[in-house]
Structure 1
Amino acid sequence: MAINLQKGQRIEIGLQKVGVGLGWDPNQSTGYDFDLDASAFMLDADHKLPEDEFFVFYNNLVSPDGAVESSGDDLTGGNSDGDDETISVDLDKVDPRIQEILFTVTIHEAVQRRQNFGQVHNSFIRIYNAITNEEIAKYELDEDFSTETAVEFGRLYKRNGGWKFEAMGYGCKGGLQALVDKYVR
């Protein structure tokens, strides 16, 4: 049975292959579609990317170690009834320099389109067993992010030789660029 995660909650993963799914409903109001983007920042002990290629997103679909792979970009949120974008992680392949994998969601062109997460409906990020597709945990976006355009949803991190997941829920304005500025050397 899946856990519905709360901000700050941590769980043991105990898996080799993990999937991270992002889903949301298409914009039903007038205006632009919501283009949410799932990304992964693979961080070293200094909480920075060891190399730019360890940032996996719609313009860099696979990490250099082959451990993290993005499904690509869904521009509207209307391509499925479940996950609209996914990130697959093979923890056995993760470069030894990597201490955590941070999962983020941003709204593409949020400022130009005058959009924020408070306008997005039924958005979630979920963690699942990538081999069996069994959902382990789900984190639902709620009213906490009414003005934000970027959210650090959660992270996989190394602890005592194993991997754990933490639901973070840190929102910020500035979209993807704000996160890149924070994690690129």
Structure 2
Amino acid sequence: MATFKLAKGQSFQIHKEMELVHSGLVWDPPEGSGPAFDLDVHCFALIHPGGDANRARLYNDGSHALCYAFVRGPGNPEGSLSKNPDGSFQTGDGSMWHERDDRTGRGGPVRADDDDDEEGGHHGEGFREEFKIVLAKLPADVAELAVWATIHDAERKRQDFGKVKNAYIEVCDAMDDELCRYQLTAEFAGKTTIQVASFLKQSDGSWKFHAVGAGSNAGLGEVINAYLG
């Protein structure tokens, strides 16, 4: 399937009958001996009170927030997401799932039966940070899935998105065919946090993937607090 390459501000319509999508960040590891880029991708399920997207708030105080800050563990016993033995985590209803953390940018092994087509995508490169959304299982009140990317320990390592090579987010269907991708360009130099995109629910119940491309230096805690109101 051909890939639709999004520019900032563009959207890709997801067919209404498509019940599940995979999405993830891809980036190249640094050349030479420099420290690896540890990029994290987060996906927050949001409601729009009164239909106003500018007042977006976390659904159910973060029960559907694919973010390490919400993972239940010894240091966070009240976390809303359960962690699996392999390091992945998911929501209680199974509608949202996040692969284990990738701290190097090298990704996991690519299966031998993966297609190596000219479009590449995660078939040839391996997702670095991957999440799955079962659109058909999402709570009815969820109006948006906001996708953010951050760089772990960016200040200490003196890293920003302008130094990350070939970074993009892609969306695939249930068969792992890539539907669209959004490349993160040099405009994010000096930025350590990006609202990369949002999945937006449409009036007919379908979804579209919208390339937001809003960079900042806000910490992840600030992003979460803004959604908590």
Secondary structure (helix, strand or coil) at the match of 2:194 reads: strand
CA displacement at 1:64 relative to structure 2: 3.4
Measure the CA separation in 2 of the matches of 1:57 and 1:141: 20
1:104, CA displacement in angstroms? 1.1
Aligned partners of 1:175, 1:149: CA distance in 2, in Å? 8
Identity across the alignment (%): 32
Supply the distance in 2 between the matched residues of 1:65 and 1:172 (Cα, whole angstroms): 32
User: What is the CA RMSD across the aligned residues, in angstroms?
Assistant: 1.5
Q: Give the distance between the partners of 2:130 and 2:107, measured in 1 at CA.
A: 12
Deviation, 1:132, is: 1.2
Distance 1:27 1:178 in 2: 28
Provide the C-alpha distance between the structure 1 equivalents of 2:38 and 2:104, rounded to a whole number of angstroms.
5
Aligned residues of 1:37 and 1:105 also touching (Cα < 8 A): yes
Contact 2:45/2:62 (<8 A) preserved: no
1:171 counterpart (215, 221, 227): 215
Which of the residues 174, 182, 189 maps onto 1:146?
189
- The one-letter amino acid of 2:67's match is F
Q: Does the CA contact (< 8 Å) of 2:29 and 2:104 recur in 1?
A: yes
1:41 aligns with 2:44: yes
The number of residue pairs the alignment matches comes to 184
Please say which structure displays the higher CA radius of gyration: 2
> Is 1:115–2:152 an aligned residue pair?
no
Give the structure 1 partner of residue 136 of structure 2.
92
2:9 is aligned to: 8
Q: Which residue of 2 aligns with 1:78?
A: 106
How far apart are the structure 1 equivalents of 2:130 and 2:189? 24
> Do the aligned residues in 2 keep the contact of 1:107 with 1:175 (CA within 8 Å)?
no
Deviations 1:135-159 (A, max 9, x none): 1101111101001111111111111
1:52 correspondence with 2:95: no
TM-score when scaled to structure 1? 0.93
Unaligned runs of 5+ in 1: none
Query: Which letter does structure 2 place at the counterpart of 1:3?
Result: F
Uncovered stretches (5+) of structure 2, i.e. residues with no partner? 50-55, 72-80, 82-88, 109-124
Cα contact 1:104–1:151 (8 A) shared by 2: yes
Counterparts of 1:109 and 1:178, CA distance in 2: 15
Q: Secondary structure at the match of 2:57?
A: coil
